[in-house]
A = this chain, B = another copy of it.
Amino acid sequence: MKRRNILGYAATGVATAALAACSPQNTGPAVQSDSLPRVRWKMATSWPTSLDTLYGAAELIAELVSKLTDGRFTIQTFAAGEIVPGLQVLDAIQQGTVECGHTASYYYIGKNPALTFGTCVPFGLNTQQQMAWLYHGGGIEAMNKLYADFNTIAFPAGNSGAQMGGWFKREVNNIADLNGLKMRIPGLGGEVLSRLGVNVQVLPGGEIFLALERGAIDAAEFVGPYDDEKLGLNNAARLYYYPGWWEPGSSFDLQINLTAWNRLPTEYQEILKTAASAANIQTLAKYDVQNPQALKRLIDGGTQLKAFSPEILQASLAATTDLLEDMAIRNSSFRDIYEPWKQFRDSIRQWHAVGEFAFSNFVSTPILEGL
């Protein structure tokens, strides 16, 4: 046991030169720490194990919690469908079937449309802005007011970065091209495109490839190069559009049954929260390292990148604004988040235009023009 060795050193007064300079009380004798409960939890997730990015975030949280408690608090992770279907994680948490889950808040907008803010909003915050809103802009608190209705508390625990606009079997250059297009796209992005004439389909990830390959649908979006490649979508369509304006920086959640949360020692609560923060940043980093390599493989394999036209972007932005304003009128909990969120979005965009965008504009414009 490494720990005993360390204590042994301290007890026998073997101190290194570096530590000899410290005052003696800095590393005191070992003390019997308070007794802490052994806790074993189950975590349902919305992901197949093959998505090592998102399922990997769940595993990382479990690994960190175990390491940080020396194995006293362990969490067993389950793939989508093992305990409950992937889109019923929040239900399982609310019912106490599992103590926690790793999922996306926007899967549950049928229960409350305001839950979309926890993941992303079309033409909304990008990744860095979403994190700022969640951690220091009142986002976590706003989301947990909503989650309380489901006896749940949640913390950000992973981000995909900006997503792609998806795979298309034929070009879409203008609004007329969208009319009747059969496209797999869930969430608010689907509602916006539906207003522009798209025949919106909602399919689980595992069914996208066959539908696209056989022509049951004309287009499909999923995540980005690394995850999309795993589904083989590049083998079903050749045109790969950007940007994925409906998901400019999607955040994923560690959701926890509130009763189970309240029974945890404060120390374990803080460990869970901190592990979620670490998983948040490290999952984004993993996406940002895997996506460039996957994008290169896709292009080498014949995938053709296409930018959405200004006409389609402008029409989509207008339809998005209409949709969000309509939802704010219809739903008070949506409105309560939307109004301050809009102010936050406009304010941080002003700063980022100067601080972040002016730099990336200089280094990225030549790359984009060279595509």
Contacts and interface: CB of A to CB of B under 8 A. Distances in A.
Interface in A160-208: 161-164
Interface in A97-143: 97-99, 123, 126-129, 131-132, 134-137
Contact of A164 (B64, B68, B275, B355): B355
A338 interface: no
Interface residues of A, number: 119
Contact of A242 (B16, B69, B354): B354
Given A19-B260, A136-B285, A362-B243, A68 B367 contact: no
A126 B72 CA distance: 39
A295 B69 CA distance: 42
A166 to B, nearest CB: 13
B364 A353 contact: yes
Interface in A1-53: 2-3, 6-7, 9-10, 16-22, 25-42
Residue from A3, A313, A363 with most neighbouring chain B CB atoms (10 Å) = A363
For the residues of A in contact with B, the DSSP-based class is helix
B132 A242 contact: no
23 contacts: A18-B95, A19-B257, A22-B96, A26-B40, A28-B37, A29-B37, A33-B33, A68-B267, A68-B270, A123-B363, A128-B288, A131-B281, A135-B282, A136-B282, A164-B354, A243-B362, A245-B359, A349-B364, A353-B371, A354-B368, A357-B361, A357-B364, A360-B360
Interface of A: 2-3, 6-7, 9-10, 16-22, 25-42, 64, 67-70, 72, 95-99, 123, 126-129, 131-132, 134-137, 151, 161-164, 224-225, 242-245, 248, 257-260, 263-267, 270-271, 274-275, 277-278, 280-282, 284-286, 288-293, 295-296, 305, 307, 313, 347-365, 367-368, 371
